[in-house]
Chains A and B, each alone.
Chain A
């Protein structure tokens, strides 16, 4: 008797999971996810607009295709791969971070670092020059120099 119950339970659980799974593959797709995928793809008939943004009919059809494929259970990455297989890397609005394309991602960062380094060197040269410059102290009344300093700071 207990084995029968266990078998029944297993069947029920199995049926439930199958139903749940099939329900999952047929669930409606949120527009947000479609938008997320579409924003990474280039509208092929426009100049530089994404599939999400473009008002053209082609883009509208592409969005429908994205929606269908997502609803069929494909992941966003798989949908992206579907388009890349047909159009090439060109259809991605940001080049994939691989190989030669790393150049476009890393060179700007390198530019910032080089710039910061150059600026740092320049500042160091400026401060060193000030330190090594001969200072000839002028005899100034202490109260006067304090007032001058405060005025200067307030001015700037």
Chain B
């Protein structure tokens, strides 16, 4: 009953979306507003139906309705309440419904916000959104239906993948998908601009806030994914350059490039062709990401499943890329912009360099991800491309980008005079060199660590220079300190929001550097009562306990941690789920500002007399999460509605 109802709703939604897309398109072409309005109603209907499907599915999960196959596969009678809700998007079918729902939501917001303002572009943008929505609904109907009937109805379900029993499951996919789907809207407007030929700045102005929001959610999704990897997956790291991690990282890189180059188009009307191409590339990469995750073409931690869904996604990706890029080629002459620059040393050049580096990094990640496939196609030999490669090639690029973060905001538009350069960069460069020397003097010998530290100090000082100078200007006008700073942040929220985001990135950069350069680890086997030592910490093995939980059985190791005085007890565990073939290791950790203690339980003797453990002391990893928090504040500041700039 539930399954049939849900399936029926999906079909109707698909039909409405197809109708709406066509209606909006034809209405746009012929100028018949009635059709466009009809498309709006269709969109509303789609949103209502998809929401109902979502609600129905959640209800099925909450009531243990095992007549729905998706519910039976992803939950069982022992699954706790909150995980039953998050399990809704825990596997392939649910992820598609989540994606479709977000697309529908964004379509409604687009209608509400732009129905009146963007007369020319709006209908085509709506048509594009509905077309893309129709595709995902097609996938939901044909390839990954969440409402398939399970007959006979089993008495108990299989259960959720234990790795997904985590709070990260609530936020990570949601944030990530909000980011991915968020980039659909700028893409839709870019398509509208290309189709109508209005490739000026209107489409850009309309999508500015969408872009920041999408970019922010993508950043958040990536950071939460890193946190999840760190505290659940049990390998002591936050980023493995896994193909699906890369798939989310690539649109983030090109999205960041887009965020910056739009500023050049806004100020100087340059790079229009490039901006349109960037947004198409970003959206294409989000589709590529979903293709990678679901097609099984490249092995990955995340890979959901295979089958016809991969072919569907690849076909759609092909359709989107060829159409969009074809439109770019068609409009080539009209897009190319005129631009003037007085000097090579200018903000435009800095932003251009920023774009080159970001897109080059995206290309590196892309090529590294598909290279195993290429190698097999050409040589017939399988190779692996993993962390050692990506780290080696990308780190110089990222470091240069961090450096540019300091240069870009302060260097003058059009032409930076020597005076301008001296005024803005004297202190930052000087303090950067001091920082490098200090680091070296304090015993830091890793070249990369010294360089990273010096660069981050350089950028931090540029931000401080700008902020103090601007505050001082306001103080001269008679304001007092705190109101001056506050008003500065609010009046120029785009600029200072950007600065705060940059600050967040700096903190993250330091965290990454610390964890790479200074983390230590070891592996050892301990008998009961024995102690292992690492980096000044002592870990004493006290014994093992076996615990029976609602849906699994776990063995917990008891370790006392001390560094002179007792710090606490760590309890890494190994959980045995009946539906999983191998036990799952659960780390225990002790987070700190400077270092994290990380303990993984390996093999153990049945009687608890000995255990093998992997110990890690990770340095500065917490800075990554702190930086993420700062980044959030910056993004929120930047999204605030623009205040009229008075003195």
Contacts and interface: CB of A to CB of B under 8 A. Distances in A.
Are A and B in contact, CB atoms below 8 Å, in the complex?
Answer: yes
Interface in A84-112: 88-95, 100-101, 103-105, 107-109, 111-112
A107 B385 CA distance: 14
B389 A104 contact: yes
Interface string B353-378: 10111011001100110010011001
Interface of A is mostly: helix
A93 B612 contact: no
Given A105-B393, A108-B360, A127-B343, A94 B388 contact: yes
B603 interface: yes
Contacts of B303: 47
A63 to B, nearest CB: 7
Contacts of B397: 112
Nearest to A99: B379
B342 interface: yes
A104 B235 contact: no
A88 B602 contact: no
A75 interface: no
Contacts of B485: none
Contact of A94 (B379, B389, B420): B389
A45 to B, nearest CB: 9
A133 interface: yes
A93 B387 contact: yes
A141 interface: no
Given A53-B236, A129-B340, A48 B367 contact: no
Nearest to B412: A156
Interface of B is mostly: mixed
Contacts of B582: 56-57
Contacts of A107: 367
Interface in B3-21: none
Contact of B375 (A40, A101, A111, A125): A101
Nearest to B243: A48
Nearest to A61: B603
A104 B596 CA distance: 35
Contact of A55 (B235, B338, B385): B235
Contacts, number: 159
Contacts of B359: 115
Given A47-B242, A105-B393, A126-B340, A95 B347 contact: no
A48 B241 contact: yes
Contacts of B614: 55
B363 A111 contact: yes
A63 B523 contact: yes
Nearest to A40: B388
Contacts of B392: 94
B27 interface: no
Contacts of A60: 523, 602-603, 612
Contacts of A129: 338-341
B241 A55 contact: no
B385 A94 contact: yes
A122 B352 contact: yes
A39 B388 contact: yes
B237 interface: yes
A126 B381 contact: no
Interface of A: 31, 35, 39-40, 42, 46-50, 52-57, 60, 63, 88-95, 100-101, 103-105, 107-109, 111-112, 115-116, 118-119, 122-123, 125-127, 129-130, 133, 152-154, 156
17 contacts: A47-B300, A48-B301, A55-B235, A57-B603, A60-B603, A89-B382, A89-B383, A94-B388, A95-B383, A104-B371, A104-B385, A109-B393, A115-B357, A116-B356, A129-B338, A129-B340, A153-B419
Closest 10 CB pairs of A and B: A93-B386, A126-B341, A115-B356, A108-B364, A94-B388, A94-B389, A130-B340, A53-B235, A55-B234, A55-B585
Given A57-B603, A108-B368, 12 more contacts: A31-B521, A47-B303, A48-B387, A89-B381, A95-B385, A108-B364, A108-B393, A119-B356, A129-B341, A153-B419, A156-B347, A156-B412
